[in-house]
A = this chain, B = another copy of it.
C-alpha cells in the first residue's frame, strides 16, 4: 500500500465543506465521513466483534494508554497484534495515549523528553515518550496510529498553550522519525487551544511534517459547543484538502452533522456507548431516557424506523424493565441501538453529501 495515496475525496458537497471520501488501510477501505466506536480496553463496551459487524461498523478505536498498562502491548503483540487479540479483522485506529496520560493521571511530570505518570491500575510509575508511544502503537498493529501530543486543558493561558503547541510539534517530528511500520498510517494532531493564531501555527508546522492524515485535538474538553464549532470551522479548511481530517473526541449526532459540514471526515466519541449504559438512547424522535416510567407498558419499539436487533425484537416496556432490573442484557441492547443509530447517521450523511444536500441535514431533526 502506498500511504501517500491512502485517501481520496470522491465528492465535495456543493453548498458546505463536507466531503465524501475513501480511506484505504491495511485491513480494508473505509468510507468517510465515518464514526469510530471507542474500544478503550480492547472491547467496545458490551459488544462482540460480531455485534459490530452486524451493525456495519467499519473501524473502531483502541486506547494506547489503557492497553499499554493492561494487558501490555508486548503481550498483545505476542498474541498476534490487536486485531487478532480481539477477533476484529476490520480497521483499527489507536490514539497515542497523550490525552489519557494528561487527563487520567493524578501525578504526572512533563518535560521536553516526555511525561512521567502513574498507572491508574496499580500506581506504578511510567515514562511515556513520543518514541515509546509509536513503539506501543506499532506493537499493537493498528491501521492508523496517532502522534503523541500534549493536549492543553481548558482554560489555559496563551503562553502555556503556545509552549504546549511548540512541544507538540517537536514530539510530532520525533514520532514521524521513529515510525517505521509499513502499511500503518500515521496521523498528525493539531493543537493550539482556543487561540486561532496558535491553531494556524500548529496546522502549518504539523502539515509541514507531512502525515497521512490530520487530527484536530484538544477540543471537547470544556470549552463549550460554540468555541468547539468556531475552532473546528477555523481549522478544518486550513488542513490539506487531500488528506483525511479527524476531529478527536466529538461528539453528539448534532456535533457530527455540523462538523462534517465544516469538512471533517472522521470522529470518535464515547457518547453512544456511555449514554447507552446510562439508559439514554438516540432515536429519530429525539433522545429517550429508558428509565422513565412512561415506558412501563409501552409495546412499541424504541424507534419504529430503526432496523437494529434491539428495535426489531423488543418493546420499550421490556427495555425499561431490563434497565430498571439492572440486567446486563440491557446494556448490550441499548449499546447496539445507539451504535446502529450513529452508523446510520453516517450513512445518511454520506448519502446527503453525494446528493449535495448536506446543508439540509444541519437541522438534525431531518436526520432521524
Q: Which residues of A contact B (CB under 8 A)?
A: 41-43, 45-50, 70-71, 75, 78-80, 85-87, 296-297, 299, 309, 313-315, 317-318, 320-322, 324-325, 327-329, 331-333
- In the complex formed, the residue of B with least CB distance to A88 is B313
Given A42-B327, A48-B332, 19 more A-B residue pairs with CB atoms under 8 Å apart are A42-B318, A42-B325, A43-B322, A43-B325, A43-B327, A43-B329, A45-B327, A47-B329, A48-B313, A49-B313, A71-B317, A71-B320, A75-B296, A75-B317, A78-B297, A79-B315, A80-B299, A86-B318, A87-B313
- Contact among B75, B299, B324, B332 for A332, CB-based, below 8 A: B332
- Please tell me if the beta carbons of A42 and B86 are within 8 angstroms of each other in the complex: no
- Please tell me if the beta carbons of B297 and A328 are within 8 angstroms of each other in the complex: no
- Please tell me if the beta carbons of A327 and B87 are within 8 angstroms of each other in the complex: no
- Please tell me if the beta carbons of B328 and A46 are within 8 angstroms of each other in the complex: yes
Closest Cβ–Cβ distance, residue A264 to chain B (whole Å): 30
The verdict on A296 contacting B45 (CB below 8 Å), with A85-B315, A86-B318, A87-B313 known, is no
Closest Cβ–Cβ distance, residue A136 to chain B (whole Å): 16
Interfacial chain B residues near A325, Cβ < 8 Å: 41-43, 70
Closest Cβ–Cβ distance, residue A20 to chain B (whole Å): 33
The verdict on A299 contacting B46 (CB below 8 Å), with A85-B318, A317-B71, A331-B328 known, is no
A313 to B321, CA, bound (A): 31
Interfacial chain B residues near A45, Cβ < 8 Å: 327-329
A45 to B331, CA, bound (A): 11
- In the complex formed, the residue of B with least CB distance to A86 is B318
A37 to B309, CA, bound (A): 22
A324 to B71, CA, bound (A): 9
